Amino acid sequence: MKCPFCSANDDRVVDSRESAQGEVIRRRRECLGCQRRFTSYERIEEVPAMVIKKDGRRELFDPQKLLSGLLKACEKRAVPRRSLESLVEKISTLVQEAPDREVATEVIGQKVAEGLRRLDQVAYVRFASVYREFQDVEEFLDEIRGLVGRGKGRERKKT
């Protein structure tokens, strides 16, 4: 570390302390050239998570924007907000742990669709109609038929 007083590059750490939140380390240093003391701070350099849009643009990942879209899809549905927040947390983790911290919108959309399908089928269809950009009613009906077909396979037999 370069001394702010004499520009020497030799120093020793006299004291180190973590901040209350643990995000910053404060270090008291003593210059071996001029014997004066100075303070330095260390913090982790955050690499922002990015979303790769369909047209190739990159945009900062915004969990709040994702939650807003989920709330819109679940409007007037009995889906607990906590379930939606949990889904957003899972997707945020996926984005944060991705190589280069970049994820395509298609991957995020698939994870959202899978999560909504389990939570509420009507909300899933609302989301899918926007995400998959249905061009006509037939595509919309095909998706609903697929849901109904999956639901029949899961029904329990009454005894």
CB atoms under 10 Å from CB of 21, counted, come to 6
Strands of the sheet containing 102-104, edge to edge, are: 58-60, 50-52, 102-104
pLDDT digits (tens, 9 = 90+) for 18-62: 876 777 999 999 999 999 999 999 987 778 899 999 899 999 999
pLDDT at 10 over 60: yes
Q: At 153, is the pLDDT very low, low, confident or very high (cuts 50, 70, 90)?
A: very low
Q: Give the global pTM.
A: 0.61
Query: Which among 32, 119, 134 has a CA at the least distance from the CA of 80?
Result: 119
How confident is the model over 67-91, as a mean pLDDT?
94
Return the closest-CA partner of residue 131 out of 156, 104, 100: 104
CA 87, distance to chain mean position in Å, is 10
Query: Residue 116 class from Cβ within 10 Å (0-12 exposed, 13-18 middle, 19+ buried)?
Result: buried
Segment 89-133, tens digit of pLDDT: 999 999 988 988 899 999 999 999 999 989 998 898 888 777 676
Of 100, 106, 107, 109, the C-alpha closest to 48 is: 100
C-alpha–C-alpha distance, residues 90 and 143, integer Å: 25
Can you give the pLDDT at residue 72? 93
Among residues 119, 113, 121, the alpha carbon closest in space to that of 147 is found at 121
According to the model, what pLDDT value does residue 159 have?
38
